[in-house]
Amino acid sequence: MNTPTVSSNPDRPKRLVMQGITKQYPGCLANDSVDLDIGVGEIHALLGENGAGKSTLMKIIYGVVKPDAGQLIWEGETIRIKDPAHARKLGIGMVFQHFSLFETLTVTENIALALGNEADDMKALAEKIRSVSARYGMALNPQRYVHSLSVGERQRVEIVRCLVQDIRLLILDEPTSVLTPQEVDTLFITLRRLAEEGCSILFISHKLNEVKALCHRATVLRAGRVSGACIPTEEDASSMARMMVGDETPISMDYDKVQGQAVFLQVRGLNQRSDDPFGVDLKNINLDVHAGEIVGIAGVAGNGQEELLAALSGEDIIKNHDAIHFPCGPVGHLCPEKRRRKGLAFVPEERLGRGAVPDMSLKDNALLTGFLTGLIKNGMIDHEGTESFAKKIIKQFKVKTPDSGTHAKSLSGGNLQKFIIGREIMQNPQLLVAAHPTWGVDIGAATAIHQALIDLRDQGAAILIVSEDIDELFLISDRLCAICDGALSPIKPTPQVTLEEVGRWMAGMFDELLPDEKTPEANIVSLQSTAAAVKTH
């Protein structure tokens, strides 16, 4: 990623000024007299821990939430943004961290809902979607139904939905959390182009190297208040992290690579046709995960990760029952509950709706998968034990919430992720399969989750991580591979793999070696050389 050459330019005309913005929820002061301004053509970062108030502030700008106090000045005029439709008319677009898409509608129909009367000609809109998405390197089929899209592809729909509008301020809440390095580079080219054309961008990210590479200015929130500001190009990731979390929170770790023990998960010749006409068929998947090791699977979104996770978790019953084995024998015919009874824990890629039920309390969400730990006795729920289990998760994983009775949907994305990860890890599984374990969490929380995964590994658990965050996979994985078009690359010890090789694997080039293959220690090689070959679906 190239560092922007544009300076912070304090003399830019202001597009948006927020003064004294305050928002109180029961038991939580989300925003406390926040001041923030964004210039015309400026890319402005908003930094802070999970629960610091970032998402609430963005929702106020977009008209989803009304502030209790303070004022917004839009292009020199004091306004009250009534709702998202009003915000869009002003030229404000937002990409939410939790997707706001209707799964039973097509890409075109979802985008049409945001455009109102402007979307009368659906055929013309579909062509515009196809053109805009291709132009910005995020190709989409306008006729596909959202339920058939991977997480990364849904993120593209959210971004393209904004790009087809005449926006003057684009709000991006963790937009790169499920993108590959190649896709991030492409997105940043798009964002810089938009800024050069005069569009202002408010960028929320926990990936501080991205903030340094992209943003002109940054504002830092802690506990709902502005705690500092900086010019990212004049800082490093460590100094910005310290502004966010303070000096008392660990923000980086190095983990020893280990060799696993006996095989716990064995997959042999897994072939599975997808029931989804837009899905990906699994092709001869062979995979071993040993007790006491972490195996990482990289890949571009939509290359079979969802199908593989469904086959391993039991959501999809595979035709060849012998293709998946635990030490107890074949499990391919077992449902999720029975696999859990054999030692499996599972973290799905979608937090809300699959990892947690939005309208249920954290206590009840803890019971959903934790019931096998003795929380149901003689057919009756042990409410006291369930409450205690939920509180332990909240305490050990530092989930910011008023109490265990809080609904899952009211938590920030990062805090909900910490709760789901904690719920699975604290059941002491023999096998943990996790998708995107640190998606959208701040750097302090990511370090804590990584340490919890390493501790679980060192206790003898077999762990399989599916992630599009290559840095994360190199950090915590003992062995590494990639998936492309439903096929799995070779699996190698992480110290013997380069970033360039993983990039080729992600492009489906499993057997191809370059004459000047870099040494394993040279894991700083750019993935850009393989960007053109990477498949996006």
pTM exceeding the 0.75 threshold for the entire prediction: no
Return the percentage of the chain with pLDDT > 70, whole number: 89
Domain ranges of the chain: 14-245, 260-343+429-537, 353-428
Quick one: pLDDT band at residue 99, thresholds 50, 70, 90? Answer: confident
Residue 150 pLDDT exceeds 90: no
Establish whether domains 14-245 and 260-343+429-537 are of one fold. Answer: yes
pLDDT at residue number 5: 36
Residue 28 pLDDT exceeds 80: yes
Quick one: pLDDT band at residue 442, thresholds 50, 70, 90? Answer: confident
Q: What is the distance between the alpha carbons of residues 483 and 44, in angstroms, rounded to a whole number?
A: 35
Radius of gyration of the chain from its Cα atoms, rounded to whole angstroms: 23
Quick one: pLDDT band at residue 250, thresholds 50, 70, 90? Answer: low
Q: What is the distance between the alpha carbons of residues 54 and 60, in angstroms, rounded to a whole number?
A: 10
Give the residue with greater pLDDT, 319 vs 367: 367
Terminal-to-terminal C-alpha distance of the chain? 23
Residues in the chain: 537
Residue 159 pLDDT exceeds 70: yes
pLDDT at residue number 499: 84
Q: Average pLDDT, whole number, for the chain?
A: 87
**380-389 as b/e: b if 16+ CB within 10 A:** eebeebbbeb
281-292 average pLDDT score: 97
35-62 average pLDDT score: 92
Query: Looking at domain 14-245, what is its CATH homologous superfamily?
Result: P-loop containing nucleotide triphosphate hydrolases (3.40.50.300)
Residue 275 pLDDT exceeds 90: no
pLDDT at residue number 461: 98
Give the residue with greater pLDDT, 385 vs 138: 385
Residue 110 pLDDT exceeds 50: yes
Residue 245 pLDDT exceeds 80: no
pLDDT at residue number 536: 38
pLDDT at residue number 341: 95
pLDDT at residue number 166: 79
Q: What is the distance between the alpha carbons of residues 56 and 35, in angstroms, rounded to a whole number?
A: 14
Between 50-54, 263-267, 338-342, 423-427, the lowest mean confidence (pLDDT) is in: 50-54
CB 488 within 8 A of CB 285: yes
Alpha helices in 116-248 (DSSP H): 122-135, 151-163, 181-196, 208-214, 237-245
Quick one: pLDDT band at residue 525, thresholds 50, 70, 90? Answer: very low
- What is the tens place of the pLDDT at every residue in 448-461? 899 999 999 999 99
415-421 average pLDDT score: 93
- What is the tens place of the pLDDT at every residue in 482-506? 999 999 999 999 999 998 899 889 8
250-262 average pLDDT score: 84
pLDDT at residue number 9: 63
Residue 516 pLDDT exceeds 70: no
CATH of 260-343+429-537 among 3.40.50.450, 3.20.20.110, 1.10.10.10, 3.40.50.300:
3.40.50.300
pLDDT at residue number 112: 92
Of 226, 228, 292, nearest in space to 431 by CA: 292
Quick one: pLDDT band at residue 216, thresholds 50, 70, 90? Answer: very high
CB 303 within 8 A of CB 505: no
